[in-house]
Amino acid sequence: MDNRQGTYIAYDANGVKDHVNSNLHNHKMLEDWQRMNPGRFNFINIEDIHLSSSNEILQETTTTLKHHLERQMAKADNMLVVVSPVLNPDSPILNWQISRGVNHFHLPIVIAYAGLDRIDDHTIQTYWEWLPAKFRKYLTQYPWARMAHVPLVRDKVQRALATYSAGKQVYPWDGTTIF
């Protein structure tokens, strides 16, 4: 086992500049979950998301930003991606984070669907357009990319994040695991 702790939240850095039409409210909800349940949630880069929303982190060059994000990912035990109709599925920085998390850091991925109370086997196809391009590629070409799909509901997200761990080498079965 290695010393990874916490969850890295992959996000569209440009997508949080618009505070109304973005996932920022979902990220604030995650921050509230962490504040109310510090033993259950440990989001290691929640501050970065808020810095992005105020454009401070976007002032960095792409190389500097990627280096910063990699340092955060190296500490992570898993990765959370919140998908919704306002997410830009073609965001270069979001898709880079997903690729780096899967291919370099071997992080299990938990995909949380905003606005859904429950999901089933048809959810992935029904909400295909919500998924970042990298996930769509993995689901069609690379079934070894291990991803669990959950609704963005506190107990479901908490249980999925507590279950899947790079440090313990516990991963979803495949890219279409419904948790």
Q: What's the chain's average pLDDT?
A: 85
CA distance 165 to 179: 14
Write the CA distances from 113 to 2, 41, 60, 109, integer angstroms: 29, 18, 30, 13
Number of domains in the chain: 1
| Helix (H) or strand (E) run with residue 153 in it | none
Q: How confident is the model at residue 53 (pLDDT cuts 50, 70, 90)?
A: very low
Nearest C-alpha neighbor of 98 from the set 57, 64, 147, 58: 147
pLDDT confidence of residue 1: 47
Is 18 within a domain?
Answer: yes
Q: Give the structural domain span for 47.
A: 7-178
Region 134-156 average pLDDT: 89
Closest to 26 (Cα-Cα) out of 98, 75, 87, 103:
87
Q: Which of 20, 54, 17, 29 is nearest to 112 (CA)?
A: 29
From the list 144, 148, 131, the residue with the least C-alpha distance to 80 is 148
Q: Is residue 102 part of a domain?
A: yes
Contact 8, 96 (CB under 8 A): no
Q: Is 112 inside a domain boundary?
A: yes
- The pLDDT confidence band at residue 42, using thresholds 50, 70 and 90, is very high
| Residue 71, domain member (yes or no) | yes
| HSE (side-chain half, CA atoms, 13 Å) at 92 | 4
Any idea what the CATH number is for the domain that residue 50 is in? 3.40.50.11200
Q: Say if 1 falls within a structural domain.
A: no
User: 104 lies in a domain?
Assistant: yes
Q: What is the pTM of this model?
A: 0.89
- Range list of H helices, the chain: 24-36, 46-53, 62-74, 92-103, 123-126, 133-141, 154-163
Q: Specify the pLDDT at position 132.
A: 95
pLDDT in tens, 67-109: 888 999 999 999 999 999 988 899 898 999 999 999 999 999 9
Q: How confident is the model at residue 64 (pLDDT cuts 50, 70, 90)?
A: confident
In the DSSP assignment, the letter for residue 109 is E
Sign of the CA dihedral running 87, 93, 97, 99: positive
2 domain-assigned: no
